[in-house]
Protein backbone atom coordinates (compact mmCIF):
# COMPACT_ATOMS: atom_id res chain seq x y z
CA UNK A 1 0.00 0.00 0.00
CA UNK A 2 2.81 2.42 0.88
CA UNK A 3 4.51 1.63 -2.46
CA UNK A 4 1.28 2.40 -4.31
CA UNK A 5 1.03 5.79 -2.60
CA UNK A 6 4.63 6.65 -3.52
CA UNK A 7 4.21 5.52 -7.14
CA UNK A 8 0.97 7.45 -7.48
CA UNK A 9 2.66 10.60 -6.15
CA UNK A 10 5.75 10.23 -8.39
CA UNK A 11 3.85 9.63 -11.62
CA UNK A 12 1.17 12.14 -10.64
CA UNK A 13 3.73 14.93 -10.18
CA UNK A 14 5.52 14.00 -13.41
CA UNK A 15 2.22 14.31 -15.25
CA UNK A 16 1.47 17.51 -13.39
CA UNK A 17 4.74 19.17 -14.43
CA UNK A 18 4.39 18.11 -18.07
CA UNK A 19 0.76 19.24 -18.24
CA UNK A 20 1.64 22.60 -16.68
CA UNK A 21 4.32 23.60 -19.17
CA UNK A 22 3.55 21.58 -22.31
CA UNK A 23 2.50 24.72 -24.20
CA UNK A 24 5.73 26.55 -23.37
CA UNK A 25 7.63 25.09 -26.37
CA UNK A 26 4.76 26.17 -28.64
CA UNK A 27 4.75 29.74 -27.28
CA UNK A 28 8.55 29.98 -27.61
CA UNK A 29 8.42 28.60 -31.16
CA UNK A 30 5.73 31.12 -32.11
CA UNK A 31 7.85 33.98 -30.78
CA UNK A 32 11.10 32.86 -32.41
CA UNK A 33 9.52 32.24 -35.81
CA UNK A 34 7.29 35.30 -35.67
CA UNK A 35 4.52 33.02 -36.90
CA UNK A 36 2.01 30.50 -35.55
CA UNK A 37 1.83 28.48 -38.77
CA UNK A 38 -1.12 26.08 -38.76
CA UNK A 39 -1.75 26.29 -34.99
CA UNK A 40 -5.49 26.53 -34.31
CA UNK A 41 -6.45 29.72 -32.48
CA UNK A 42 -9.82 28.17 -31.59
CA UNK A 43 -8.11 25.20 -29.92
CA UNK A 44 -6.02 27.57 -27.80
CA UNK A 45 -9.11 29.60 -26.85
CA UNK A 46 -11.11 26.50 -25.85
CA UNK A 47 -8.19 25.26 -23.74
CA UNK A 48 -7.83 28.69 -22.13
CA UNK A 49 -11.54 28.56 -21.20
CA UNK A 50 -11.00 25.08 -19.72
CA UNK A 51 -8.64 26.46 -17.06
CA UNK A 52 -11.00 28.68 -15.00
CA UNK A 53 -13.79 26.08 -15.15
CA UNK A 54 -11.54 23.26 -13.95
CA UNK A 55 -9.92 25.50 -11.32
CA UNK A 56 -13.28 26.60 -9.97
CA UNK A 57 -14.36 22.98 -9.64
CA UNK A 58 -11.00 22.14 -8.06
CA UNK A 59 -11.40 24.88 -5.45
CA UNK A 60 -14.88 23.62 -4.64
CA UNK A 61 -13.60 20.02 -4.38
CA UNK A 62 -10.66 21.03 -2.14
CA UNK A 63 -8.09 19.60 -4.55
CA UNK A 64 -4.42 19.64 -3.62
CA UNK A 65 -2.59 22.92 -4.27
CA UNK A 66 -0.47 21.54 -7.18
CA UNK A 67 -3.67 20.42 -8.92
CA UNK A 68 -4.95 23.98 -8.62
CA UNK A 69 -1.72 25.58 -9.84
CA UNK A 70 -1.42 23.35 -12.94
CA UNK A 71 -4.59 24.45 -14.78
CA UNK A 72 -3.82 28.11 -14.16
CA UNK A 73 -0.31 27.80 -15.65
CA UNK A 74 -1.76 25.85 -18.57
CA UNK A 75 -4.54 28.42 -19.04
CA UNK A 76 -2.02 31.27 -18.96
CA UNK A 77 0.06 29.64 -21.73
CA UNK A 78 -3.00 28.69 -23.80
CA UNK A 79 -4.23 32.28 -23.62
CA UNK A 80 -0.75 33.52 -24.59
CA UNK A 81 -0.74 31.22 -27.65
CA UNK A 82 -4.26 32.40 -28.55
CA UNK A 83 -3.19 36.07 -28.50
CA UNK A 84 -0.07 35.13 -30.48
CA UNK A 85 -2.37 33.61 -33.13
CA UNK A 86 -4.33 36.86 -33.33
CA UNK A 87 -1.18 39.01 -33.38
CA UNK A 88 0.90 37.09 -35.92
CA UNK A 89 -2.08 36.60 -38.24
CA UNK A 90 -2.90 40.30 -37.93
CA UNK A 91 -6.40 39.50 -36.65
CA UNK A 92 -5.89 42.40 -34.26
CA UNK A 93 -3.68 45.46 -34.52
CA UNK A 94 -0.07 44.80 -35.55
CA UNK A 95 1.00 46.80 -32.49
CA UNK A 96 2.60 44.62 -29.82
CA UNK A 97 1.27 47.02 -27.16
CA UNK A 98 -2.30 46.29 -28.27
CA UNK A 99 -1.64 42.52 -28.18
CA UNK A 100 -0.16 42.76 -24.66
CA UNK A 101 -3.11 44.87 -23.53
CA UNK A 102 -5.57 42.33 -24.95
CA UNK A 103 -3.70 39.51 -23.20
CA UNK A 104 -3.88 41.33 -19.84
CA UNK A 105 -7.61 42.06 -20.28
CA UNK A 106 -8.33 38.41 -21.11
CA UNK A 107 -6.35 37.28 -18.06
CA UNK A 108 -8.50 39.48 -15.83
CA UNK A 109 -11.67 38.13 -17.49
CA UNK A 110 -10.54 34.53 -16.94
CA UNK A 111 -9.68 35.22 -13.30
CA UNK A 112 -13.08 36.81 -12.80
CA UNK A 113 -14.78 33.83 -14.46
CA UNK A 114 -12.96 31.42 -12.14
CA UNK A 115 -14.08 33.31 -9.01
CA UNK A 116 -17.64 33.69 -10.31
CA UNK A 117 -17.94 29.98 -11.13
CA UNK A 118 -16.58 28.96 -7.72
CA UNK A 119 -19.17 31.17 -5.98
CA UNK A 120 -21.93 29.84 -8.25
CA UNK A 121 -21.00 26.19 -7.63
CA UNK A 122 -20.83 26.67 -3.86
CA UNK A 123 -24.12 28.58 -3.80
CA UNK A 124 -25.87 25.96 -5.94
CA UNK A 125 -24.62 23.09 -3.77
CA UNK A 126 -25.63 24.90 -0.56
CA UNK A 127 -29.13 25.25 -2.00
CA UNK A 128 -29.51 21.58 -2.90
CA UNK A 129 -28.68 21.83 -6.62
CA UNK A 130 -26.04 19.12 -6.51
CA UNK A 131 -26.29 18.64 -10.28
CA UNK A 132 -24.49 21.96 -10.83
CA UNK A 133 -21.12 20.82 -9.38
CA UNK A 134 -21.45 17.56 -11.31
CA UNK A 135 -22.06 19.41 -14.57
CA UNK A 136 -19.15 21.78 -13.97
CA UNK A 137 -16.96 18.77 -13.17
CA UNK A 138 -17.79 17.10 -16.51
CA UNK A 139 -17.50 20.26 -18.64
CA UNK A 140 -13.67 20.54 -18.44
CA UNK A 141 -13.30 17.01 -19.85
CA UNK A 142 -15.54 17.97 -22.76
CA UNK A 143 -13.57 21.16 -23.40
CA UNK A 144 -10.06 19.69 -23.15
CA UNK A 145 -10.90 16.89 -25.59
CA UNK A 146 -13.22 18.94 -27.80
CA UNK A 147 -10.52 21.57 -28.14
CA UNK A 148 -8.63 19.19 -30.44
CA UNK A 149 -11.42 19.22 -33.05
CA UNK A 150 -10.58 22.63 -34.62
CA UNK A 151 -6.92 21.61 -35.01
CA UNK A 152 -7.82 18.32 -36.69
CA UNK A 153 -10.28 20.14 -38.95
CA UNK A 154 -7.74 22.79 -39.99
CA UNK A 155 -5.01 20.20 -40.72
CA UNK A 156 -7.26 17.92 -42.78
CA UNK A 157 -8.79 20.89 -44.65
CA UNK A 158 -5.53 22.66 -45.51
CA UNK A 159 -2.96 19.86 -45.31
CA UNK A 160 -0.74 22.34 -43.47
CA UNK A 161 1.06 21.36 -40.25
CA UNK A 162 3.71 24.09 -40.20
CA UNK A 163 4.34 25.75 -36.85
CA UNK A 164 2.72 23.07 -34.67
CA UNK A 165 5.26 22.14 -32.00
CA UNK A 166 5.87 18.39 -31.84
CA UNK A 167 7.66 18.97 -28.53
CA UNK A 168 4.41 20.36 -27.08
CA UNK A 169 2.45 17.34 -28.33
CA UNK A 170 5.07 14.92 -26.99
CA UNK A 171 4.99 16.58 -23.55
CA UNK A 172 1.18 16.49 -23.58
CA UNK A 173 1.21 12.79 -24.50
CA UNK A 174 3.70 11.91 -21.76
CA UNK A 175 1.71 13.95 -19.25
CA UNK A 176 -1.34 11.87 -20.09
CA UNK A 177 0.56 8.58 -19.88
CA UNK A 178 2.05 9.44 -16.47
CA UNK A 179 -1.38 10.54 -15.22
CA UNK A 180 -2.89 7.21 -16.34
CA UNK A 181 -0.14 5.30 -14.50
CA UNK A 182 -0.72 7.40 -11.38
CA UNK A 183 -4.44 6.64 -11.61
CA UNK A 184 -3.73 2.89 -11.64
CA UNK A 185 -2.04 3.22 -8.22
CA UNK A 186 -4.80 5.44 -6.82
CA UNK A 187 -6.90 3.88 -4.03
CA UNK A 188 -10.21 2.38 -5.11
CA UNK A 189 -12.86 3.12 -6.32
CA UNK A 190 -11.28 3.54 -9.74
CA UNK A 191 -11.88 6.94 -11.37
CA UNK A 192 -13.13 5.95 -14.83
CA UNK A 193 -14.14 9.55 -15.70
CA UNK A 194 -10.57 10.78 -15.27
CA UNK A 195 -9.25 7.73 -17.12
CA UNK A 196 -11.47 8.53 -20.10
CA UNK A 197 -10.18 12.10 -20.17
CA UNK A 198 -6.51 11.07 -19.95
CA UNK A 199 -6.85 8.36 -22.61
CA UNK A 200 -8.69 10.74 -24.95
CA UNK A 201 -5.91 13.34 -24.64
CA UNK A 202 -3.18 10.76 -25.31
CA UNK A 203 -5.00 9.30 -28.34
CA UNK A 204 -5.74 12.75 -29.81
CA UNK A 205 -2.16 13.93 -29.25
CA UNK A 206 -0.75 10.82 -30.93
CA UNK A 207 -3.22 11.34 -33.77
CA UNK A 208 -1.90 14.87 -34.33
CA UNK A 209 1.71 13.63 -34.25
CA UNK A 210 0.86 11.02 -36.89
CA UNK A 211 -0.84 13.64 -39.07
CA UNK A 212 2.20 15.92 -38.78
CA UNK A 213 4.54 13.11 -39.85
CA UNK A 214 2.23 12.13 -42.70
CA UNK A 215 1.82 15.63 -44.14
CA UNK A 216 5.52 16.42 -43.71
CA UNK A 217 6.40 13.18 -45.54
CA UNK A 218 3.93 14.02 -48.32
CA UNK A 219 5.35 17.54 -48.65
CA UNK A 220 8.89 16.11 -48.90
CA UNK A 221 7.77 13.68 -51.62
CA UNK A 222 6.22 16.55 -53.57
CA UNK A 223 9.43 18.54 -53.32
CA UNK A 224 11.45 15.55 -54.52
CA UNK A 225 9.05 15.01 -57.42
CA UNK A 226 9.23 18.69 -58.37
CA UNK A 227 13.03 18.64 -58.22
CA UNK A 228 13.20 15.52 -60.45
CA UNK A 229 10.77 17.10 -62.90
CA UNK A 230 12.93 20.22 -63.09
CA UNK A 231 16.01 18.06 -63.78
CA UNK A 232 14.16 16.18 -66.54
CA UNK A 233 13.01 19.43 -68.12
CA UNK A 234 16.53 20.86 -67.91
CA UNK A 235 18.04 17.74 -69.49
CA UNK A 236 15.39 17.74 -72.21
CA UNK A 237 16.05 21.41 -72.99
CA UNK A 238 19.80 20.80 -73.15
CA UNK A 239 19.31 17.81 -75.45
CA UNK A 240 16.96 19.75 -77.72
CA UNK A 241 19.32 22.71 -78.01
CA UNK A 242 22.31 20.41 -78.63
CA UNK A 243 20.40 18.54 -81.34
CA UNK A 244 19.48 21.80 -83.06
CA UNK A 245 23.19 22.67 -83.39
Q: What is the DSSP string of 145-189?
A: HHTHHHHHHHHHHH---TT--HHHHHHHHHHHHHHHHHHHTSPSS
Residues of the chain with pLDDT > 70: what percent? 89
| Average pLDDT value for residue range 141-158 | 91
82 has pLDDT over 60 = yes
Residue 210's pLDDT is: 95
52 has pLDDT over 90 = yes
Per residue in 164-176, pLDDT (tens digit) is 999 999 999 998 8
Residue 238's pLDDT is: 58
Give DSSP secondary structure letters for 80-130: HHHHHHHHHTTSS-S-HHHHHHHHHHHHHHHHHHHHHHHHHHHHHHHTT-T
Per residue in 85-109, pLDDT (tens digit) is 999 998 776 788 999 999 999 999 9
Residue from 175, 127, 126 nearest 14 by CA: 175
Which of helix, strand or coil describes residue 50? helix
| Average pLDDT value for residue range 17-22 | 87
- Where residue 189 falls among pLDDT bands split at 50, 70, 90? confident
Residues of the chain with pLDDT > 90: what percent? 42
Largest Cα span, the chain: 97
Residue 153's pLDDT is: 93
Per residue in 206-241, pLDDT (tens digit) is 999 999 999 999 888 877 776 666 666 666 555 655
Which of helix, strand or coil describes residue 19? helix
Higher-confidence residue of 116 and 130: namely: 116
- φ/ψ of 37, rounded to 5, equals 55, -130
List the domain boundaries for the chain. 2-219
Amino acid sequence: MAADVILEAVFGYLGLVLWSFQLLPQAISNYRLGSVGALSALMMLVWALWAPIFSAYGLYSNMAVPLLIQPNIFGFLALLCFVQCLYYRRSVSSSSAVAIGLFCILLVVMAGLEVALFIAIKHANDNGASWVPTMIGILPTVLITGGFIPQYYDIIKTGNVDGISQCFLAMDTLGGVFSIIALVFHPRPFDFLSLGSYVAVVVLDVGLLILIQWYNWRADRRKESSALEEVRCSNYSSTTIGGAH
